[in-house]
Amino acid sequence: MLVTRFDPFAEIRELEKRLLSAVNVPAAAENDKEVVNAFVPSVNTREDENNYMVEIDLPGVKKEDIKVNIDPEKRTLTISGERKFKEEVKKEDYYKIESSYGKFMRTFSLPENVDLENIDAKTEEGVLHITLPKIKKEETEIKEIPVK
């Protein structure tokens, strides 16, 4: 007899897995076109002494189809755009499409020390690189107040 440890969240994880896999299964749609997966780009974030860096994988997305917006009031960074579907499907041939296409939007809250005026964004080899400079903390002098 095999003894396994009870996991109270196993059923929830299994349900989540089934729900997510159901979303990613292509389904038939009108005009014999296939509905493809929603495009959710992968994001990597990191920081060094002077900057926060955000890298978003956007293979097949043209520079003109990408928008990067800053909301200074909410202190948010929003990246949006569209990975357009290539209409190359022939009626007599069958193609399986595993790539994801469609519109996307990702929003991130920004730390208080981001310099909102000097943010830089560029694309290189299918990756969007966003550099968010940190505001330099000024060294504060300790001032002595004379007691009267």
> Domains of the chain: which residue ranges?
10-133
The tens-digit pLDDT sequence of the chain (148 residues) is 556 677 777 788 788 777 766 555 443 333 334 444 567 888 999 999 999 999 999 988 899 999 999 999 999 999 999 887 766 555 556 566 666 778 889 999 999 999 999 999 999 999 999 999 999 877 556 778 889 8
- pLDDT score for 17: 74
- pLDDT score for 1: 54
> How distant is the alpha carbon of residue 147 from its chain centre?
55
Residue 78 bridge partners (DSSP): 69, 107
Residue 43 bridge partners (DSSP): 56
* Helix spans in 56-139 (H): none
CATH architecture of 10-133: Sandwich (2.60)
Task: For residues 97 and 86, give the distance between their C-alpha atoms in angstroms, rounded to a whole number.
Answer: 11
**Tokens 């955000």 label which residue?**
54
- pLDDT score for 92: 55
C-beta neighbour count of 130 within 10 angstroms: 20
**Which of 54-67 are b and which e, b meaning 16 or more Cβ less than 10 Å from the residue's Cβ?**
bbbebeebeeeebe
- pLDDT score for 98: 64
- Return the HEC string of 75-97: CEEEEEEEECCCCCCCCCCCCCC
Task: For residues 100 and 40, give the distance between their C-alpha atoms in angstroms, rounded to a whole number.
Answer: 8
- 47: which 2 tokens? 């920081």
- pLDDT score for 19: 75
Question: pTM value?
Answer: 0.63
- pLDDT score for 144: 84
- pLDDT score for 36: 45
Task: Report how many helices (DSSP H) and strands (DSSP E) the chain contains, helices first.
Answer: 1, 9
